[in-house]
Structure 1
């Protein structure tokens, strides 16, 4: 049986978040993963939000419900003992038949401090990654250093198969260089434009080459907000409301604007808005829903929406997403709309990918 044109490229190059944002029914994530697999996407991504979105538990459930789709789970490295994280990934590879990937996010330092967890610095992450990789080969690890003292760490029964890829979320030059030096993949931040993807890819590849690694061995994943064929109010919540949760954050918003070569003055307007100014540094997504941030989102220039997200008809979104592949992305993480709303988009993506000869 011949495969539909563009179907393999869709599976290889596109995935989606399941359970984006805050969650009240985590079981919905299994249905979303099944739907993502049914419409031909190749990966599901699970973010970490303490309460009803525990990536280890959800990844295990998804691996049993699905058969082909890749599963990437996000972890805050300093929240778990390294043997626990290494064991989760080891077991997930065994459970899923080698479909699991580990993603590390840095989180806002104030958020980690609030929980009494060590900040997720790149120095700490480098040591964690080294420990994980050694454990996954069956080595006994003795460590004394920045992470503390671990007299003897060993996975007594380890999965003797492909090691889980380690992916790092990165925005600024230093984190992109870190990914090039130490990681198997890097996930770029939402609202990074094609110009930003091109600039980011060069930093990652150059750092990998400088470290004596094959620059093409680091996979570039790009996280893009998509809102195909959505009603205007829902589109504004998915795109503009969510965008504010990124741009209002000191550091995060500035780095996105810099890599995209955009006007930084817009950030001052966003942060001066009464809803944001009254937070006193607390992240907006902890205080408001996306719908409640739509009015703040109206401050964002249309250019930022056009270049940083995929909005409009499914056909227009698909054509727009090709620009990010052309700019250097190896794989795209679709964010915003859920898998149940992506059927028409995946049909258009197969068309656009086949037209490119992929």
Structure 2
């Protein structure tokens, strides 16, 4: 089964549904319906180990939409047996009539430690990508490598699935690797425009070194968006999100280094008595007063986002394309909140640039 062609007004725009922490996964139903009606091309689901299991959510999202591409953005490659992940992808692909993309990530090291799971490397990811593509083509596979020992894997001989395989990450080495192997790349929230340019260059370099067309690998920027937001909303959507990333050991360092920021600022942030005493992820547990304090710990330049009027936010989307991104995934806000931005974006959109695009993200 090949992927059907689905076209919306803005195939170059996607959004993260259920952004960050949620206790109400059913909200995805109204969010994806609204996003499709607004003309977005794709919806992405970032998996969390609470009430954000990606297969259940993707199935629900696919069942209530007709054109919107649904993607995992991301799931880990070793939290399921490879056969389960392959089956999840083919089931969702056919359930949605070709509107599913499998986005995977290496995962956060400290979580692997806590869960007693092996840390993933590029070698694991390369083996995983190869396995998925073989299984999706109905091949019989015997595998013994970094990913594990699998004497016999086979789905069905009639399989012929054209499922986009996306990589979610942002380190320079990871991006060059992703460009050599994956169909598309989803970057990280809060990359500066300069960091975005470098990230795109890394992906293109990796693709070219592997003998691939460097522009065949689509690179998606992720833009935290708070349109006409009051202070409390800004703190929750922008400050809390960034602070949560910075909390994570090694993860925060990678984000800071990718942007070329000062690690001493990160150290002071983590040493702060409010931050160090936080009993969980900041975006899940911090109060507004705590977020006001945390805001004072972060330089303005550490919060690159789309904030302000619809016109200002739309220009920030355009900035991402100017920096080399092939697509923009809207984060933090819900469709009803970012709808005014789309009206402003329509005015400045480069229609010729996206004339041949469909909702397929790569």
TM-score computed with the length of structure 1 as normaliser? 0.91
Runs of 5+ unmatched residues, structure 2: 1-6, 355-362
Q: Does 1:99 align with 2:99?
A: yes
User: Structure 1 residues 148-157 or 60-69, which shifts more?
Assistant: 148-157
Q: CA deviation at 1:325?
A: 0.7
Q: CA deviation at 1:9?
A: 8.3
Runs of 5+ unmatched residues, structure 1: 1-7
Q: In the alignment, what sits opposite 1:173? A: 172
Q: In the alignment, what sits opposite 1:123? A: 123
User: Structure 1 residues 91-100 or 117-126, which shifts more?
Assistant: 117-126
Q: In the alignment, what sits opposite 1:299? A: 297
Alignment of 1:40-189 (within 5 A): 40-73=39-72, 74-156=74-156, 159-161=159-161, 163-189=162-188
Q: Does 1:335 align with 2:336?
A: no
Q: In the alignment, what sits opposite 2:281? A: 284
Alignment of 1:335-354 (within 5 A): 335-354=331-350
SS at match of 2:40: coil
Q: CA deviation at 1:356?
A: 8.2
SS at match of 2:14: strand
SS at match of 2:331: strand
Measured on the aligned residues, the alpha-carbon RMSD in Å equals 2.0
| 1:11–1:43 Cα contact (<8 Å) kept | no
Distance 1:286 1:238 in 2: 8
Distance 2:248 2:202 in 1: 23
Compared CA separation, residues 170 and 290, structure 1 to 2 (3 A): farther
Compared CA separation, residues 9 and 273, structure 1 to 2 (3 A): farther
Distance 2:126 2:217 in 1: 16
Distance 1:290 1:249 in 2: 19
Q: In the alignment, what sits opposite 1:11? A: 10
| 1:18–1:32 Cα contact (<8 Å) kept | yes
Distance 1:100 1:49 in 2: 19
Distance 2:147 2:12 in 1: 35
Compared CA separation, residues 337 and 218, structure 1 to 2 (3 A): same
Q: Does 1:222 align with 2:221?
A: yes
Distance 2:353 2:183 in 1: 26
| 1:106–1:120 Cα contact (<8 Å) kept | yes
- Is the helix fraction higher in 1 or 2? 1
Corresponding residue to 2:322 among 314, 319, 326: 326
Q: CA deviation at 1:275?
A: 2.7
Compared CA separation, residues 238 and 171, structure 1 to 2 (3 A): same
Distance 1:182 1:290 in 2: 42
| 2:241–2:283 Cα contact (<8 Å) kept | no
SS at match of 2:215: helix
SS at match of 1:42: strand
| 1:138–1:158 Cα contact (<8 Å) kept | yes
Count of residues in correspondence between the two structures = 346
Distance 2:152 2:182 in 1: 24
Q: CA deviation at 1:339?
A: 1.2
Compared CA separation, residues 117 and 290, structure 1 to 2 (3 A): farther
Distance 1:136 1:93 in 2: 11
Distance 2:207 2:265 in 1: 34
Per-residue CA distance 1:289-346 (angstroms, 9 max, x = gap): 47444421321112333xx111111110101221111101101110011112111011
Per-residue CA distance 1:215-252 (angstroms, 9 max, x = gap): 11111011111001111221122111211111233332
Q: In the alignment, what sits opposite 2:36? A: 37
| 2:142–2:150 Cα contact (<8 Å) kept | yes
TM-score computed with the length of structure 2 as normaliser? 0.90
| 1:168–1:187 Cα contact (<8 Å) kept | yes
Q: CA deviation at 1:285?
A: 4.2
